[in-house]
């Protein structure tokens, strides 16, 4: 991207890293906590480790669109001994289901945030069950 327009690739890379902490992770945690009814905090006996193994950001070109989707693995570990895996859940091609009214999701960050939110909610429901 920097070859076509100087600085645009650098801007994209910075946004990609920043979005992880500012958008993706908080939305996942919010929806996981809401659906699981668990208290999420740093002093918990157990830790949920969530690793995305594949991410499709989707696209929206006005007349055609594809929602974001991800593959991931969630591990429940003891906080004091992260090598001790108590449970493992594999998530395959979970989509955002975000068609956004009238095709408004032109920004990849918005589509990816939505797939994190929906995956957090679905995993939260699974854990609660």
Q: How far apart are CA 88 and CA 90, in angstroms?
A: 7
Specify the pTM. Answer: 0.84
Question: Residue 42: its pLDDT value, please?
Answer: 81
Domain locations along the chain: 8-128
Quote the CA–CA distance of 58 and 126 in Å, as a whole number: 25
pLDDT at position 1: 87
Per-residue pLDDT tens digits for 28-87: 999 999 999 998 888 889 999 999 999 998 888 778 888 889 999 999 999 999 999 999
Q: Which runs of E-coded beta strand occur in 1-129?
A: 46-56, 59-60, 65-66, 69-78, 81-95
CATH code of 8-128, in short, is 3.30.160
101 has a pLDDT exceeding 50: no
pLDDT at 102: 46
Residue 97, sorted as left (phi over 0), alpha (psi -120 to 50) or beta, turns out to be left
Most confident of 93-102, 105-114, 116-125: 116-125
């Amino acid at each position: 991207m920097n070859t076509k327009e100087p600085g645009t690739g650098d801007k994209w890379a910075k946004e990609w890293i920043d979005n992880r902490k500012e958008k993706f992770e908080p939305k996942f945690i919010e929806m996981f906590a809401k659906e699981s009814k668990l208290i999420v905090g740093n002093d918990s006996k157990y830790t949920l480790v969530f690793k995305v193994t594949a991410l499709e950001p989707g696209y929206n070109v006005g007349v055609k669109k594809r929602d974001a989707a991800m593959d991931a693995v969630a591990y429940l570990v003891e906080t004091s001994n992260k090598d001790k895996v108590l449970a493992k859940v594999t998530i395959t091609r979970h989509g955002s289901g975000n068609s956004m009214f009238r095709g408004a999701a032109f920004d990849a960050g918005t589509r990816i945030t939505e797939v994190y939110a929906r995956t957090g909610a679905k995993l939260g429901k699974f854990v609660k069950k």
